Amino acid sequence: MAEVTQASQQFVKIKEIRDGIVYLKNGGLRQVLIVSGINFELKSEGEQGAILANFQRFLNSLDFGIQFFIHSRKVNIARYLANMEEHKKEETNELLRVQIEEYINFVRNFIEENAIINKNFFVIVPYDPVSLPSGTKGILGLFGKKHGAAEHTKDTTEGENTAQLKERATQVMEGLAAIDLRAVPLENEELIELFYNLYNPQIVDKKGVVV
């Protein structure tokens, strides 16, 4: 079992999660922002045009790449229905028991005909320090920095790297705020839960949710 676990970990690019930051095995840093949504279809044509224009300006203002990610998962309410069944058994009022039974049947039939999908929207902000071999910095400096990467010298510390990452994340949050989208960085526990769900979708679906 230990060998299987060790082999599985080789496919995970994450080294550790600390202080709300994802540290990758290759030295890269990532900050994950969860973003609110807007109902674009309900906006007027003028409002839609303004949103698209602001979004375009936001993207053009960035000198680094970002990744948009949508996590969609079918909601499993098996545990919720099981809890309702237990509540029905404990209910002494016959009228309430009948109402609970009708409610359980309604929810069960509705779910069978209409799958409920839970969607979360994320933006991944990267920072990838690049070590420059001795003697090549001056030559490469003629061509500027690589798009989306940062120059990394011996004097660069982890604190400076995280500061650069958080500065980028702040820029992204402010840009999204101009489109009425609220973005918040995920904390350690939220990041762990997110990646657990991504790497173990079948286990999560079987567990279901409690409403």
Q: How far is CA 26 from the centre of its chain?
A: 20
In a domain, 7, yes or no: no
The confidence band for 110, taking pLDDT boundaries of 50, 70 and 90, is confident
Tell whether 84 and 109 lie within a shared domain. Answer: yes
Total domains in the chain come to 2
Output the 3-class SS for the chain: CHHHHHHHHCCCCEEEEECCEEEECCCCEEEEEEECCCCHHHCCHHHHHHHHHHHHHHHHHCCCCCEEEEEEEECCCHHHHHHHHHHHHHCCCHHHHHHHHHHHHHHHHHHHHCCCEEEEEEEEEEECEEECCCCCHHHHHCCCCCCCCEEECCCCCHHHHHHHHHHHHHHHHHHHHCCCCCEEECCHHHHHHHHHHHHCHHHHHHHCCCC
**Tens of pLDDT along 21-69?**
999 888 889 999 999 888 888 889 998 999 899 999 999 999 999 999 8
For all residues of the chain together, what is the average pLDDT? 79
- Residue 7: pLDDT above 60? no
In a domain, 8, yes or no: no
Q: Which domain holds residue 89?
A: 78-115
Tell whether 127 and 85 lie within a shared domain. Answer: no
In a domain, 4, yes or no: no
Tell whether 56 and 101 lie within a shared domain. Answer: no
User: CA-based angle 201:204:205, to the nearest 5?
Assistant: 85
**Tens of pLDDT along 164-176?**
999 999 999 999 9
pTM above 0.75, yes or no: no
Tell whether 96 and 46 lie within a shared domain. Answer: no
